[in-house]
Structure 1
């Protein structure tokens, strides 16, 4: 008497494919969905925009040479420039030749020309003296301590600035009126001081030594475009500049400097034995690399020093599938494993399709083929619940086939 094989009943036990799932059950795919391609694209666009913004900001704040020629620049229309004073001098009939080369300035000077300049900070002492020696009338619009020392005009007197009048016998200063002096100077012996205070400090220094008239005043603020209209500033500027028909206005700049900085090299700052020692160490390093270095050759296959257990691989793949929340892929893997094992138990070839396995299982279990077709090759599960249901039904099918084959083999 033959015992009827058990039929496939409703899902009751959760089982998993031992190849693609964990040993005790299928790995849960409840992990959050991976970010889509659109979100990744937006992230890369944001990073690119951030980099472009940083690059533009760096270019905006790039270090550049400061424009030091803006102070009392006869071409400068800004608040610190002296274009207004230059235009007033032109209106008085003076021809102004603006130059940024000391050689051109020296070549343009003649006995009827006034040399005007601020503090020539880019020139050496000798270059300044050579330029002044070519002029018979010099107006210095900056009262630096170097020019006071170099021309022996006097010394600075701090704390004496204020409103002053001419107070001297210079005819062109008679109608200037009151000015607001920025700095005061104590004249040296033989130097006349105008616009004095009671202590003897003066805002304007003038000397006629060596048949050359040299006048010095701190005019950074007095003669600027922003303050020229105040008090008698404009009148004082014309009294200094517009006394000749021609003016050579030299504007100092670093491109016209004769100063040279002798920078010591690294070899000059280190002892003599350092360079030979560095060369010797480099040679020894290259020799050691040549001696002990490995040469690259063809790849050689070798066995791994460790063996990875199948259960660890199975669990790792299950975790990856769960993390990706890919229920369709997990269901396909479980179905593939079930079809492979059922084909072996039903004496089919390893390349048997799911339909062939379903036909053979239907004959053994005497159940409709349609239900087995749908179970082994149906639509993929789309959620965790559908995946668990599919795994349970496949496990019950394998159990039923195992029982049928075992009973048939033990039939008397």
Structure 2
């Protein structure tokens, strides 16, 4: 007999009536906590914060000025490894006055009779502007070369030769220079004086005369840089080039100083269609709604080990060796331009698939430079020789340096 039956029998024997038993409940009470409310209000608050950040970012792009870049190669005001601040200071110690300018019109105005004009290859100037600048001086020292400058000045042709050479010419200023380690040599043209000649007749320094202007050309990117100035006779070579007159006007080319396109560059607001801002906000809202809807349903990430690991550097070096072996300058230029466009798009917050025109427009707005030279540089004519490829690579590297300096300046601005 069960315990319940014994209890009922005992109560019946004592004359006590048992209370009626309540019917069992059909549903158990819920123990789940009520769902918190107010989630929609928090999402709306985050949407407003993100929209405010986007608006402030767009305003900063339009209002933030770009400072001058002092990190370029052979910049007389740069103390960096590739700058030329050391040779400029040595020249000043010889009693020479050096005036640094970043405008070709200002350089022309500052050139007095007998002064020396010092410059590197100006890629943003047209041929006529370059020749006008050169002919405005009595003495010109060109510290870097390109196929275009050799053609305009009719001094000779470039070669792949390099090595340690001595002056071995009749120019007295180079008589005590000694040995220099030239990185680039040239084949002198007719009527051009060649100095620092190797066994095959290639010269590291060319001296020519165009009318009343004496022009000296060399590739001093390594010879006169701060990093290598103390090597061999590099310092003596720099003084022989720069300390021959009392006044030196040092023109530092930049993409901002260009005559290739007239008029002011268009602002970001002028280039942006009216429908872009509403579409961005709509996509932002849709993305936040999707995150709020499905964000918590994602499972944990699953890791899987790959059977083979291939380093990116091995692939890069392999492709580079194939391109060099094939002597395919056009293909190498396309690869260099693609890499530059990808890195510029990443630094300027553009899509990785942004076109050359879109990247050039963004760089133009950031650096406040005309678009004509940027279009030609990022997607222009294909180089026909290795020399043109080297010149293109140097110009693209200088462009990336300028954009890096502008982005870094904006991030560090208080």
* Kept in 1: contact 2:139–2:214 (CA 8 A): yes
Q: Does 1:217 pair with 2:228?
A: no
Deviation at 1:9, TM superposition (A): 3.1
Match of 1:169 in 2: 170
Answer yes or no: is the 8 Å Cα contact 1:167–1:196 preserved in 2: yes
The answer on 1:82 being equivalent to 2:93 is: no
Which position in structure 1 is the counterpart of 2:22? Answer: 11
> Is it true that 1:241 corresponds to 2:242 in the alignment?
yes
Q: Within the alignment, does 1:119 sit opposite 2:130 as a pair?
A: no
In the TM superposition, what is the alpha-carbon distance from 1:251 to its structure 2 partner? 1.1
Which SS does the other structure have where 1:255 is aligned?
A: coil
Most deviating of 96-105 and 204-213: 204-213
Quote the offset at 1:222 in angstroms.
1.3
* Aligned equivalents of 1:11, 1:167: Cα separation in 2: 121
Alpha-carbon separation, structure 2, partners of 1:191 and 1:51: 64
Shift of residue 48 of structure 1?
9.9
Match of 1:186 in 2: 187
Greater Rg by CA: 1
CA distance in 2 between counterparts of 1:194 and 1:185 reads: 10
Stretch deviating more after TM superposition (44-53 or 129-138): 44-53
CA distance in structure 2 between the aligned counterparts of 1:163 and 1:242, rounded to whole angstroms: 23
Q: Give how far 1:78 is off.
A: 1.4
Matches within 5 A, 1:242-261: 242-260=243-261
Q: Distance in 2 between matches of 1:69 and 1:40?
A: 50
C-alpha distance in structure 1 between counterparts of 2:247 and 2:68, whole Å: 31
Q: Which residue of 2 aligns with 1:154?
A: 156
Deviations for 1:228-252, whole angstroms, at most 9, x for unmatched residues?
Answer: 1111111101000000000011111
Q: Deviation digits for residues 17-41 of structure 1, max 9, x if unmatched?
A: xxxxxxxx3365144664698x999
**Equivalent of 2:146, from 144, 147, 159?**
144
Aligned partner of 1:96 in structure 2 is: 98
8 Å Cα contact 1:69/1:253 also seen in 2: no
Q: Distance between the aligned counterparts of 1:32 and 1:163, measured in 2?
A: 84
Aligned partners of 1:128 and 1:27: how far apart in 2?
Answer: 92
Q: Secondary structure at the match of 2:134?
A: helix
- 1:150 positional shift: 0.5
Count of residue pairs brought into register by the alignment: 243
Cα separation, partners in 2 of 1:42 and 1:231, compared to 1, 3 Å: farther
Q: CA deviation at 1:54?
A: 10
Partner residue in 1 for 2:199:
198
Note the residue ranges of structure 1 that are not aligned, 5 or more in a row: 1-5, 15-24, 263-412
1:147 deviation in Å?
0.5
User: Aligned-pair distance for 1:111?
Assistant: 2.5
Q: CA RMSD in A?
A: 3.9
CA shift in 2, pair 1:165/1:52, >3 Å: farther
Q: Distance in 1 between matches of 2:53 and 2:232?
A: 49
- The alpha-carbon distance between structure 1 residues 221 and 54, as it changes in their structure 2 partners (threshold 3 A), is farther
* 1:85 to 1:107, Cα distance in 2 relative to 1, 3 A: same
- The runs of 5 or more residues in structure 2 that have no matched partner are 1-16, 264-414
Pairing 1:250-329 to 2, within 5 Å after superposition: 250-260=251-261
User: 1:186-207 CA distances to partner (integer Å, 9 max, x unpaired)?
Assistant: 0011111111111111111111
Q: 1:152 to 1:48 in 2, by over 3 A?
A: same
* Counterparts of 1:88 and 1:148, CA distance in 2: 29
